[in-house]
Amino acid sequence: MDFTQFLLASGDLGEDGCDVFVTCFTQFEKEVPEGHRAIGRLVEQAFQVGDFSGKSGERILFYPESGQVDGIRAKRIAVFGIGRIEAGTTAAEIREMMRKLGGGIAGLAEKAKASRIMVRLPVLDRIDGGQTAECLVEGLALGDYRFVKYKKPDPEEKAYPGLREVILVSDSAESLVRRGMARGENAAKAACLARDMANEPANKWTAEDFALLGRSLAGKYAMKCRVMDQKDMKRLGMGGILAVNQGSSEPPRLVILEYKAQQKKQTLLLVGKGLTFDSGGLSLKPAAGMEDMKYDMCGGAAVLAFMQAVGIERPDLNIIAMIPATDNMSGSSAVKPGDVISHYGGISSEIVNTDAEGRLILADALAYGIKKYRPDCVIDLATLTGAAIVGLGHHYTCLLSNNDTLVNRLVQAGERSGEPLWRLPLGKDYSQQIDSRVADIKNVGGKGAGTITAAAYLEKFVGKTIWAHLDIAGTAWDFTEKSYIPKGPSGVGVRTLLELVRDWQKIDGSPD
Ligand code: BES
Ligand code: MN
Ligand code: ZN
């Protein structure tokens, strides 16, 4: 399916008709705000009978008698409620209201099988026309997402291919609105790419597929792709990823994308867990829900999809993306509980539970990436622990870090993109939980604090580099359902990272 075209209206709206014309209102108390003509009078009627007052989630539909109202030719007029904006409502919250509005409009478009819609942008306090356009487009594009690749089309009904054209109508400065639209579209496209990867079943999305996509991105944008295979990993002593791959018949890959702004700029290293299927290995997972473990590559998907957005926006810093990719299977040569392995750089590890495999593949990538690229800052994304869901449910991503500045920036980026993060502590008491009798460390931390002890494992491999770990186990799928977040994979992380690198400010210092 081709992606929706987002356009900005110029001039006469009466020329070409549309399937739906959308306008919206923030919540009002006594009467419809002035300045709305025929549509305003219809809204007034709806208000009088108690059907509409601009509350979030409210929506009314009209069918213009002559196919035209207020000089607009449309089959339907839809009026959406935005919700209440109060004195204390933050810009980030208003941005989120716009995304939800976009998702709601996409939902209506699907019901109406609309292909061409027009949306009049509201004028809001605290966010400008650019941000309004950005978040609305983002919500529309994210909400219009569907994954139907493996479904036979229903012979009775024509399948809805999604929105073809969205025309925005705005009174704000054109350049501002266009810039916002481009940002929103770019962010949503990348997040949808991450969802696409995650939706692919494990028999269709393997480590090699990460490599293929990495190479294709490098072909399209100004970035280089390197792919390491098992031989390279053996030569470099990447015992973690090799151990996890031992029980599999599918070869492992370490995919690296290098985007260079300028040599003298700061370098950000990203590492995403690309575990294409997590059976648990010999420490086999229970059958119920195991199918969801095809999503265990969502960290890798987010990092790779983010690089597509980077390729288009070209932010002002160097970015290295690494995806260690393999599945975790229990074939006859699988790694066994009790085995001792050695990571890149020489730290030895006792494998107590083969299901704690994510940290093993991330450790090699982190250690190698830091040694090779000397980044100023490292962020890893991983569906690392079920304990993240126990702790924060499906609403917040767990954030663990050795640097307060980076934490603040990530939390802010998360707020502005509607992907909230919550920090958990690190420290020596937790690190001690992964002390081993036979090796330098072991891969599980015993009872309690599973998300933290997993991060403590990674911490051993980042040394003095500024680092943050995002445990997206709770948010990568089953994320808080919203109009623009469907069931299934959410694409979480992509938009947070993008928000973080836009207008990147130098970060320095050492771990706190
Ligand atoms: N991929 C899982 C974590 C996971 C579980 C993510 C459920 C999302 C939903 C990870 O590899 C894993 O199995 N972690 C173990 C660690 C334990 C053995 C210490 C877990 O969380 O149970
Ligand atoms: Mn596991
Ligand atoms: Zn896993």
> Is 196 part of a structural domain of the chain?
no
Protein residues near ligand 3, an ion, with CB under 5 A: 275, 278, 296, 358
272 lies in the same domain as 168? no
Whether residues 155 and 20 share a domain: the answer is yes
Distance 135 CA to ligand 3 centre (A): 32
Q: Identify the pLDDT of residue 2.
A: 66
Residues 211 and 181 in one domain: no
Whether 312 and 446 map to the same domain: the answer is yes
Q: Give ligand 1 pocket residues (Cβ under 6 A).
A: 278, 296, 353, 355-358, 383-387, 444, 450, 473
Q: What is the atom index within ligand 1 of the atom nearest the CA of 450?
A: 19
The one-letter code for the residue type at 290 is M
Structural domain of 299: 205-228+238-331+348-502
Look at phi and psi of residue 446 and say left if phi exceeds 0, alpha if psi is from -120 to 50, else beta: left
From the CA of 393, the nearest ligand is 1
Q: State how beta strands 68-69 and 72-83 pair.
A: antiparallel
Q: Which residues surround ligand 2, an ion (CB under 5 A)?
A: 278, 355, 357
Q: How far is the CA of 233 from the centre of ligand 2 (A)?
A: 21
Residue 249 within a domain: yes
Distance 64 CA to ligand 2 centre (A): 56
Same-domain status, 220 and 153: no
Nearest ligand for residue 452 CA:
1
- Within this chain, do residues 213 and 67 fall inside the same structural domain, yes or no? no
Protein residue closest via CA to atom 14 of ligand 1: 385
Task: Tally Cβ neighbours within 10 Å of residue 182.
Answer: 17
Nearest-CA residue for ligand 1 atom 17 is 356
Contact 326, 310 (CB under 8 A): no
CATH at residue 376: 3.40.630.10
Q: Assess whether 280 and 416 both reside in one domain.
A: yes
Ligand 3 centre to CA of 319 (Å) is: 25
The structural domain count of the chain equals 2
Strands 59-62 and 72-83: antiparallel
- For residue 326, which ligand has an atom nearest its CA? 3
- Residue 469 falls within a domain, yes or no? yes
Residue 385 lies in a domain: yes
Please check whether residues 390 and 437 belong to one and the same domain.
yes
Q: Are residues 145 and 215 in the same domain?
A: no
State how far the Cα of 394 lies from the Cα of 489, in Å rounded to an integer: 12
User: What is the rounded distance in angstroms from the CA atom of residue 363 to the CA atom of residue 341?
Assistant: 12
Structure tokens at 329: 């299977």
Per-position pLDDT tens, the chain of length 512: 568 999 999 877 667 789 999 999 999 988 888 777 889 999 999 999 999 999 999 999 999 988 898 888 999 999 999 999 999 999 999 999 999 999 999 999 999 999 999 999 999 999 999 999 999 999 999 999 999 999 998 888 888 999 999 999 999 999 999 999 999 999 999 999 999 999 999 999 999 999 999 999 999 999 999 999 999 999 999 999 999 999 999 999 999 999 999 779 999 999 999 999 999 999 999 999 999 999 999 999 999 999 999 999 999 999 999 999 999 999 999 999 999 999 999 999 999 999 999 999 999 999 999 999 999 999 999 999 999 999 999 999 999 999 999 999 999 999 999 999 999 999 999 999 999 999 999 999 999 999 999 999 999 999 999 999 999 999 999 999 899 999 999 999 999 999 999 999 999 877 77
Which atom from ligand 1 is nearest to the alpha carbon of 387? 21
Q: Do 444 and 303 lie in a common domain?
A: yes
Same domain, 86 and 213: no
Q: Which atom of ligand 1 is nearest to the CA of 445?
A: 19
Ligand 2 centre to CA of 288 (Å) is 14
Give dist(CA 355, CA 449) in Å, integer: 16
Distances (CA, A) of 118 to 10, 80, 112, 392, 431: 12, 13, 14, 39, 55
Look at residue 130 and tell me if it is in a domain: yes
Ligand 1 atom closest to the Cα of residue 454 is 19
Over the range 232-264, which residues count as b (16 or more CB within 10 Å of their CB) and which as e?
ebeebbbbbbbbbbbbbebbbbbbbbbbebeee
Q: How far is the CA of 179 from the centre of ligand 1 (A)?
A: 40
What are residue 449's phi and psi, to 5 degrees? 60, 40
The residue whose C-alpha atom lies closest to atom 22 belonging to ligand 1 is: 386
Whether residues 172 and 209 share a domain: the answer is: no
Using the mean position of ligand 2's atoms as its centre, give its distance from the Cα of residue 366 in Å: 18
Pairing of strands 116-120, 267-272: unpaired
Spatial CB neighbours of 374, under 8 Å, sequence gap ≥ 6: 267
188, with CB counted inside 10 A (0-12, 13-18, 19+), is buried
Whether residue 272 contacts residue 296, with contact meaning beta carbons closer than 8 Å, is answered with no
Measured from the alpha carbon of residue 443, the closest ligand is 1
Query: What's the predicted TM-score (pTM) here?
Result: 0.98
Atom of ligand 1 nearest to the CA of 292: 9
Catalytic residues: 285, 359
Task: Choose the final residue of a domain: 189, 215, 248.
Answer: 189
Structural domain includes residue 39: yes
Residue 10 domain-assigned? yes
Q: Is residue 487 part of a domain?
A: yes
Phi-psi region at 427: left, alpha or beta (left = phi > 0; alpha = psi -120 to 50) = left
pLDDT at 14: 63
Q: What is the CATH number of the domain that holds 168?
A: 3.40.220.10
**Amino acid letter, 183:** R
3-state secondary structure of 401: strand
